[in-house]
Structures are given as C-alpha cells and as structure tokens.
Chains A and B, each alone.
Chain A
Amino acid sequence: MSDRKITLEFNDKVVRQFLLASLIWGAVGMLVGVLIAAQLNFWRLNLDLPWLTFGRLRPLHTNAVIFALVGNMMFAGVYYSTQRLVKARLASDFLSALHFWGWQAIIVAAAITLPLGFSRGKEYAELIWPINIAVALIWVVFAVNFFWTLAKRREPSLYVAIWFYIATIVTVAMLYIVNHLSLPTSLTHSYPIFAGVQDALVQWWYGHNAVAFFLTTPILGIMYYFLPKAAERPVYSYRLSVIHFWSLVFVYIWAGPHHLLNTALPGWLQTLGMTFSLMLWAPSWGGMLNGLLTLRGAWHKLRTDPVLKFFAAAVTFYGMATFEGPLLSIKSVSALAHYTDWIIGHVHAGALGWNGFMAAGMIYWLLPRLWNKPLHSTALANLHFWLGTVGILLYVAAMWTSGITQGVMLNGTTEKGTVLAYPNFIDTLNAIRLMMLMRVAGGALYFVGWLLMAWNLWQTVRGAQPVNGTIEVFDEEPAAAHEADGKLTLLGAIFNPPVLFSILGTGFACAWMFGGHLLSIAGLVGLLACVVLAYAHFESRGKSWAGWYERLLVNSLPFTVLTFIAVAAGGLIQIIPTVVAHKGATVEDRRQIPYTPLELAGRDLYVSEGCYNCHSQMIRTLVPDVLRYGDYSRLGESIYDHPYQWGSKRTGPDLARIGGKYPHVWHLRHFEDPRSISADSNMPNYPWLLQRDTDLAALPRKISAQRTLGVPYPPWTDLEIVTRASDQARAIAQDLRAAGAYIAPEKEVIALIAYLQSLGKYEPVAARPGASAQ
C-alpha cells in the first residue's frame, strides 16, 4: 500500500446530462398528462386526430413520467452518489455516455411510436419489441458500468443507498425481461408469449414491482444519500435500514396480485396479493421513518431551505401512499375502489409527491454543486414547492372524491339490492365531471411549478462553468485488497444463521400454504419453531449476526446474489404454477373460442388504439358487476388472449360481454360519434377507422405466431386465412347495408366490430380437466 495521495475527478458530466434530461422530459410528460386529463372532460380536445387520442397518449404520459422523468433522475442520482460513496470515478466514460444517449434515443423512439399506435397493449410495457431490446441492452450497460465501478471502489463497505441501487438494477432487469417476452410478427408488432390469466399475473408482477423497483427503491437510495447530506444530520438508524431493506425487497414481489382482486385470478393468488400487501406496510414505513427521523434536529432548516422542504414533503407523501396501498389491497376496499379514479389518485400521490418532489429536492441541491454557482432564486424554489404541494392536494383530493363517488354509484343498488341504482354508466361519469376538472387544475399547478424550476435552472447555469467533483485518495489497489480481510464466499454468504433461518422460514411458510394437510401442519409448526429458534439464536449470538452482515457489506457479489434470491422467490412461487396449470387444454367450466382471422385483426386494432386504457374486459365476482355487465368472467374465457386485456380502469363500461349486445350499426355509429348514441359520452370520435383499410395481408403471419404460442388454429393456408377474413368482413358490411349504413368491407371499423361482437363467446368444458382437450 502506497501512501501517495492522488486526486480523483468524478464523472459529473453524465450526472448533469441526466439531470437536464429528467427536467425536460418531465415537463413533456406532465404536459401530456394535463392534456389527457383535460380530454376526459372535453372530448373535443382529442381533435379527431388518431395520434392525439387519449388511448394513445395515456401510455405516452405514463411511460414518459416513469422511464423519462424518474429514469433520468434516478440515473443522475445513482451516478452522483455512487461515485462519492465508493470513492471511485465511474468505471467507463464510454459506457456512461452510451447509457445516457442510448436512454434518450429510447425515449425519443417511444415518443414517436406510441402516438402512432404501435403498442404491445400492456400497461407501462407498451413499447414495441425492438425498443424493448434496446431498453434491456442499455440497462445492461448501466449494470456493467455500476458494478464495474463497485469493483474499483476504494471504500470497501457498501452504504445503504448502494444496497437499494443493487436491488433496483437486478430486479428491474428480471421483471422487464420476463414481462416483455414476445413473439414478433413484424418489425413493429409482436404477441406476448403469455396469455389470459398468466399474462395478467406476469403483467402485475411487473407493473406492481416497476413501482417498487423503478419508482421506490432507487429513490429510497437517493433519499439515503441526499437527505442526510442536505440536513447535515446522521441517518436515524442503521438497523432500521437493514430490516426495512430486506423486508421490503422480499415482500414487495409477492404483492402484485392485489391489482387483480375479485377477478378470475385463482383465489390463492388473490389471498397472497392481499396479505403480502398488508405486510408491506411496515417495511415501507421503515423508509419513511428513517427519512423523517433523520430530519430530527434539522427541522428549523426547513423554513429556509427549499431542498429540505421538498425532501420532507416527498417522504411524507411516500408514507401516505404506502399506507393507502395496503388499504386499497383489502379485497372489500378494492371492490369499491378498483377501476375508479381513487387508484389514479393513489399513483399520483406517489408520482407527484414522492418521485416528483424527490427529483426537485435533488435537483435544487445538485445545481449549485454541479455548476459551482448559487441557486438563482430561493424564492422561486419556494414558490415551486407551494404550487406543487397545492397541486398535489387538489389532484389527490379530487381523485379520492371522484373515485369513491363513482365507485359507490356503480355499486349502488335499490329495491332491496335487486336492481342497480344507476343502470346508466353515463350518470356516474356526469357525477364526477367537476372532480375531473379539479384534477386538471391540480395537475396544471404542479406543471407550472416544474416550469419554474426549469427557469430557475436556466438562470443558474447560464454562463456558469460546470465543475466536476474531486476527492483525494490514497493511490492503492482498489476494492479487492480490502475484501481480503472480510472475504465472504457465496457459500459463506448463504450458510450463516440469518440467511439459513430466512430460507428455512420461507420454506416452512410455503409448506404451510401449499402443502397437503400433514405437510401443511408440519409447515406451520416448523415456521413457529424457526421463529423461536431464530429469536433464541439472535438473543445469544446476535453479535455474530451483526458481524456477518458487516462482512457481507464488503462483499458486493454475495450481497447481489442474496438480493436476487430474495426478490426472485415470490415471483417464482406465483408465476410457475399458474403458467403450468392454466392452459387452454386444462381449464374447467368455460373455454374461449379462438378469434376468427378478422376478429384477430380487429383485436390488434383494439390494442393499438389503447382501448384498454378506459375499458376493462373482466366482470368481477361481485354482484354489482354481474348486475351491470352479466355473468362473471371465467379464467378460461381469455385463455387465448395474447396480450390479456382485462384492463385496470373503467372510464367507460366493461366490454367482456359486449358481443351480440348491440347491432353492428350501433357500433358503427358509436365509433363515428359516440355522442350520437350516448349523449354525454367522453369517448373520442374515431373517424379514421371508417377510412383506413385493415391490414389483412399480415394475418397469416399473425395466426402462425398465435399457433406457435398455443392457440388452436386449424391448419389454414395463407389464402384461406385472408379469404375467411374478407368473407366475414363482407357479411358484416352487408348487414350494415341492410341497416342503411354504407361502408366498404375492408375498412378497419369492420374488423373492430367483428372483434367486439365476438367478446364473451365461449364453449362449455366438461368439469374434468383435460377431458375435452384439443
């Protein structure tokens, strides 16, 4: 070891780049958000233009906020803090630059393809497959750059922020890849390999944990670095960090099915989703506590420092949202709140309050340090804070009121519970119009606050000289040298009391939940014994647990492996049985009839227009749902749906059994001008569906892909496929003509009508599974 000191310069250029990108894309994402919120009240704002309709812009809004605003902000924060926490410059300037420019290229590609209607039809996973591959590759670039930097670190021990970054990188890679597995049919179109209930489960395993590992864990890491820095106070509790980190990453993964309560998802998964969501409450609040209690002794600084104001409010909103989440996961609460604006309010408390305010706090803290110039105006930053806070409160209060109002109206019955109180869906929409307007106002206020920050940034950095941070370090062999004194092999990482007790406990818990009677009881006994033994061991040898963990902290690879095991467990246990058990050949009760070629073409249009953003296809096992929409949806009725289209929001009514309910001409008029059928509808007009031709030529490739994925299509030739499609289209056009509407059979609207009229068709299946398999 040499004691010669050298000066190390951090790569802060890439931090500045990501920071600016977050600010700019964030503004774009919010602008789109305000626009689509306004469209819900004023349908004319859809402007009769395909690429400006709500169904196409809502995915743009969600993707922009998640991947562009929070993504870029996360990368800026991770890169800035990691370099300092591990005392090493980012491993590769090339990879850093590739990461930045690659990510921006992906965002631009998303901003072009989503309005054009290229979509995979799964929420927050809409981007088409070539972009999916790019995202995965750039994520690998990020991972390599990050772990290579860890390998070169001069600080042997990993700080809690780094734990959260590791969990983020590993888990997002796993979630993203599995949920984007697709079979391409062209350069811009693919079918997800999962269907129906499997696709729903995988989607919400991904969707819920994107919230966890893209919007929560990296931001918690950022909180653990920037909040104590800004408050100049020690972190409240290291042991709380340890407990809440591991419980959070382990429990979060299991909670995905709470997005599918009361649906056709098997009951045991719903029970897991609900109970694990409740168990997530304390681990989430552990993060909030460590944030807020770190501010003890620094509260007076809030009066003067906008950075701390933003952080304190952000952590408070985090606490609010992570209390609301478990609450909404209770089955009976979900029966009221699901599909309504309450959920929209919940996610915005998180996105605007937690993510947006953490971003703002971090940006205001970094600006003077990255450009070596004081912030242009603290007063403007304070104004931003208040505009943002009032905006969030308006938004969230409006959505609570709206969601509960509409939920109560939709579920309300009269005449001793035998009849719906509001049979007309439009009545429930009209009841929330004022609240939807308030939401636009709240969102607009928040957006104005964000623009103030952009102006403040511009005034600060204009003419300022960017500076890169430096640090004096001893010139020595990094990392590896340090690990020698606390070297932990992979076996050593697993064969030690805390990990073994955890693995045993999880094993017993699974035996109890999934085992037969004897195994189940043995599991429960084992679980209790495991808890008691672990407690006793900890009481007598607790120091060895603490010592082992300190050693784990200087071994980044074993730490990463343990994190991966913790996050992979829940997904494996939920997804594998579902994928194995629920195939078209084995479902009970009812089985979907595969779509005709024309219906399939129509379905692809349904996906492409983003109809699922406002319409569900899932009648829950709830009396009001059955009264309104018909018999509850069975698991087998969407078993061939690649992707599933159960939806998550009912801005309009459910469509699971719309097939055959109205004549073709009803649908035609409704697409042309929804208000000609239902006076106060807020659905956009779809005039282009009556002008554009259906792409029948693509059908043979699409059906071949569906066949590969297991949909039992007969061995039609390409010609047969196209002929069948055009025959059916002609029949529909003829029927429309008889009804006085003249429309050419090749138009898109014909295919879409064919699809809608097929919804809810099924064949009965004998009770014995597999009895009538193909």
Chain B
Amino acid sequence: MTPTPPDSHDDNALRPHTYDGIQEFDKRLPNWWLFTLYITIVFWVGYWGYYEWFRAGPDGPKEVTAAMAQIEAARLASAPATDDASLWKMSQNAVFVEAGRATYVATCVSCHHEKLTGGIGPNLVDQLWIHGGRPTEILAVIDKGVLAKGMPPWGPVIGPKKAAEVAAFILSFHREGEPIQKQDAWVPIVPVPK
C-alpha cells in the first residue's frame, strides 16, 4: 500500500531497461504528494462515516424541506398588512407604487403589456375582472396564480412584499369605489407574426 522503498535506494540511478531510447529514473515519491493521497483517503473514510454511517450530516431533501418551512414562516410573520384598506393606501404612496412598477416591468410585462392593457394575460386597467377586483382578490391572484389559466403563482418567487407592491401599482390605475364588472375569460391578444 505504501510505496516507500524497502531498502536504501539510490535516487539518481537509472533503471537498467530503455524503451526506444527512453530511460527512467526511479525517484522516491514526493512526500507532499503521498500526504495528499493519504489525506484524501482518510477524508473519504471520515466523510462516509459521518454522512452515510452515523447519518450525522445534513440530508438534502430533509434539509431543504425544513429550510422552506422556515422561509414560509418568516414570510407569514413579515407579510405586510393586506386588507383592502391598507392596499388602497399603499396604492397612493409613491414609494410602494414605484417599487411595484419595477417588479411589474421585470416580471409581468411579457403577458400583461407595459401599459397594463393586456396581451397573453388580461387587461389590468379596465374595470373588468375575471377573478375579482377587490385589492385582496388581486393580490391573491398575484400570490397564488391561476394555474388553469396560465397565471403562475408569483408569491413563492418574488415574496409577499413585492407581491403587495405590485398589487399597489396595479391599484394606482384604479379608484376606490369604482365599479367592478365580472368578465368570464380573456381572449389573448396575439401579435401578428413578423
């Protein structure tokens, strides 16, 4: 297992045989090289023992499940007030609206158009609403999505703060008390292929 020479060894002697004129020394293996080899072998024994034998190390699936539960709890704890009244108030606050605009431009324009007039997804500035037009209903659609219609749940991706900001941004195009009309479905606007 160890290549240390068994007896005194002349490091500068050439081996007797040559191959097509190629000669070979038979020098000792560098100690640091041997040490690297041994230490990685010892590490393997230890790492295997720690993770697979004692099962003391973190386990991927369990770890990520626990971490996601914590994230969920933290989000619930830090979620901004999301009743209709506070969302209307947020929609009149420039800080919230501007933050919401930034998220909207990065995340929502591809389906709802930069002017919010709709594309693949519905228009957000008219008074027609498919899933309800109350602030909390709008926020719920952003947060949980409508998978059957192709609206992804954005809550897990952008988090509750940004979701509320986006709702505030959309609401900034509306007035409290304006009529809310029920719409059955949205017919996507598909641009004519170039």
- B61→A238 contact, CB < 8 A: no
Cβ of B22 and Cβ of A739 under 8 Å apart?
no
Task: Point out the residue from B15, B25, B44, B64 that lies within 8 Å of A626, measured CB to CB.
Answer: B64
Residue from B28, B44, B51, B67 in contact with A623 in the complex, judged by beta carbons closer than 8 Å: B67
Q: Is the CB of A423 within 8 A of B52?
A: no
- In the docked arrangement, what's the CA distance between A247 and B157, Å? 46
Q: How far is the CB of B188 from chain A (nearest CB, A)?
A: 4
Contacts of B20 in A (CB 8 A): 81, 84-85, 87, 159, 225, 229
Mark each residue of chain B from 41 to 68: 1 if its CB lies under 8 Å from any CB of chain A, else 0: 1011101100111000001110110011
| Complex A-B, nearest 4 residue pairs according to Cβ-Cβ distance, in ascending order | A663-B150, A542-B6, A419-B159, A621-B60
Can you name 18 extra interface pairs (CB under 8 A) apart from A225-B22, A418-B71, A669-B120? A84-B20, A247-B37, A268-B52, A271-B51, A275-B43, A279-B40, A283-B37, A415-B161, A418-B75, A539-B6, A542-B6, A632-B61, A661-B152, A662-B120, A662-B150, A672-B193, A676-B191, A740-B190
Stretch at the interface among B90-98, B104-112, B126-134, B172-180: B104-112
The answer to whether B29 and A240 touch across the interface, beta carbons within 8 angstroms, is yes
Across the interface, do B40 and A234 meet the contact criterion of CB distance under 8 Å? no
CB-based contact B194/A626 at 8 Å: no
Question: Please, could you name 17 A-B residue pairs with CB atoms under 8 Å apart, sorted by A?
Answer: A228-B22, A229-B22, A234-B14, A234-B23, A237-B28, A238-B26, A239-B27, A239-B28, A239-B29, A240-B29, A271-B48, A418-B74, A423-B158, A538-B2, A627-B157, A677-B110, A739-B120
B26 touches A85 (CB 8 A): no
B23: chain A residues at CB < 8 Å are: 228, 234-235
Shortest CB-to-CB span from A119 to chain B, Å, is 28
The CB with the most chain A CB atoms within 10 A, among B71, B147, B189, is that of B71
The answer to whether residues A665 and B120 also contact, given A423-B157, A539-B6 and a CB cut-off of 8 A, is yes
A620 to B34, CA, bound (A): 36
List residues of chain B with CB within 8 A of the CB of A293: 27
Question: In A416-475, which residues have CB < 8 Å from any B CB?
Answer: 416-420, 423-424, 427
Inter-chain CA distance A669–B189, complex, in Å, is: 11
Q: Is A501 an interface residue (CB 8 A)?
A: yes
Interface residues of A in 488-511 (CB under 8 A from B): 501, 505
* Contact assessment for B159 and A415 in the assembled complex, using a CB-CB cutoff below 8 Å: yes
- A225: chain B residues within 8 A (beta carbon): 20, 22
What number of B residues sit within 8 Å (CB to CB) of A?
69
Residue of B nearest to A268 (CB): B52
Shortest Cβ distance from residue B27 to the other chain A in the assembled complex, whole angstroms:
4
Cross-chain contact A424 with B107 (CB below 8 angstroms): yes
Chain A 279-310 interface mask (CB, 8 Å, partner B; 1/0):
10111011001000100000000000000000
A378 at the interface (CB under 8 A from B): no
A765 interface contact, C-beta 8 A: no
A→B interface (CB under 8 Å): 81, 84-85, 87, 155, 157, 159-160, 225, 228-229, 234-243, 247, 262, 267-268, 271, 274-276, 278-279, 281-283, 285-286, 289, 293, 326, 415-420, 423-424, 427, 501, 505, 512-513, 520, 524, 531, 534-535, 538-543, 620-623, 626-628, 630, 632, 660-666, 669, 672-673, 676-679, 738-741
- A235 pairs with B24, CB closer than 8 A: yes
Determine the distance from Cα of A155 to Cα of B3 in the docked complex, in whole angstroms: 27
Indicate if the CB atoms of A626 and B14 lie closer than 8 Å: no
Contact A739 B161 (CB under 8 A): no
Query: What residues of chain B lie closer than 8 Å to A417, measured between beta carbons?
Result: 71, 74
Indicate which residue in A229, A281, A416, A419 contacts B36 across the interface (CB closer than 8 Å): A281
How far apart are B191's CB and chain A's nearest CB, in angstroms? 7
CA distance A524 to B21 in the complex (A): 46
CB nearest to A293 among chain B residues? B27
Q: Does B101 contact A (CB under 8 A)?
A: no
Most chain-B Cβ atoms within 10 A of its Cβ — which of A326, A415, A672?
Answer: A415
The chain B residue sitting closest to A678, CB to CB, is B110
CA A632 – CA B110 in complex, angstroms?
A: 26
With known contacts A235-B22, A235-B23, A279-B40, A623–B52 Cβ distance under 8 A: no
A416 (CB) vs chain B CBs: closest residue? B74
Given contacts A237-B25, A542-B6, contact A665 B71 (CB under 8 A): no
Verify if B8 is at the interface (C-beta below 8 Å from A): no
- Considering the complex, which residues of chain B in the window 142-177 have a beta carbon less than 8 Å from any beta carbon of chain A? 147-150, 152, 156-159, 161-162
Minimum CB distance partner of A262 in chain B: B60
In the complex the two chains form, is B27's CB within 8 Å of A285's CB? no
**Nearest chain A CB to B152's CB is how many angstroms away?**
5
A661 near B147: Cβ-Cβ < 8 Å = yes
Task: Report A-chain residues with C-beta under 8 Å of the C-beta of B52.
Answer: 267-268, 271, 513
Closest partner residue, chain A, to B34 (CB atom): A282
* A740 CB contacts on chain B under 8 angstroms: 187-190
Chain B residues near A739: list those with CB within 8 A: 120, 187-188, 190
Known interface pairs A535-B1, A623-B67. Does A237 touch B27 (Cβ–Cβ under 8 Å)?
Answer: yes
Partner of B147, one of A271, A282, A286, A660: A660
Task: Report which of A159, A279, A282 forms a contact with B22, defined as CB distance below 8 A.
Answer: A159
Pair A159/B187 contact, Cβ less than 8 Å: no
Q: A240-B29, A275-B47, A739-B187 are in contact. Are A666 and B1 (CB under 8 A)?
A: no
Residues of B within 8 A of A666 (CB): 111, 120, 150
Residues of A within 8 A of B78 (CB): 415-416, 418
| Chain B contacts for A157, CB-based, 8 A | 17, 19
**Across the interface, do A418 and B60 meet the contact criterion of CB distance under 8 Å?**
no
Contact of A282 among B5, B33, B53, B67 (CB under 8 A): B33
Chain B residues with CB below 8 A from A531, complex form:
1
Partner of B27, one of A240, A632, A679: A240
Q: In the complex, what residues of B have CB within 8 A of residue A423's CB?
A: 106-107, 157-158
Contact B190 A238 (CB under 8 A): no
Whether B36 pairs with A424 at a CB distance below 8 angstroms is: no
Question: A663's contact among B71, B188, B193, by CB below 8 Å, is which?
Answer: B188
Question: Once the chains bind, are B71 and A623 in contact (CB under 8 Å)?
Answer: yes
B6 touches A538 (CB 8 A): yes
Known: A427-B106, A623-B68, A627-B157. A282 touches B162 (CB 8 A): no
Which one, B26, B48, B64, contacts A513 given CB within 8 A?
Answer: B48
- Closest B residue to A247 by CB, please name it: B37
A665 CA / B188 CA spacing, docked (Å): 8
Residues of B within 8 A of A160 (CB): 24
- Taken together as a complex, chains A and B put the C-alpha atoms of A580 and B75 apart, in Å, by 43
In the complex, A512 Cα to B52 Cα: how many Å? 11
Interface centre among B14, B29, B149 (most CB of A within 10 A): B29
Residues of A within 8 A of B7 (CB): 542-543
Inside 8 A of A542's CB, which chain B residues have their CB?
Answer: 5-7
Measured CB to CB, the nearest residue on chain B to A422 is B106
Q: How far is the CA of A417 from the CA of B43 in the complex (A)?
A: 32
Whether B1 contacts A662 by the Cβ 8 Å rule is no
Nearest-neighbor residue (CB-CB) of B157 within chain A: A423
Q: Which residue of B lies closest to A417 (CB)?
A: B71
Residues of A within 8 A of B26 (CB): 237-239
- Knowing A418-B71, A661-B152 touch, does A267 contact B22 (C-beta < 8 A)? no
Min Cβ gap A571→B in Å is 18
Which of A285, A286, A418 has the most C-beta atoms of chain B within 10 angstroms of its own C-beta? A418
A543 to B9, CA, bound (A): 12
**In the complex, what residues of A have CB within 8 A of residue B61's CB?**
621, 632
Interchain CB contact under 8 A, A285 and B33: yes
Expressed in whole angstroms, the Cα–Cα distance for A147 and B7 within the complex equals 36
> Whose C-beta in chain B lies nearest to the C-beta of A285?
B33
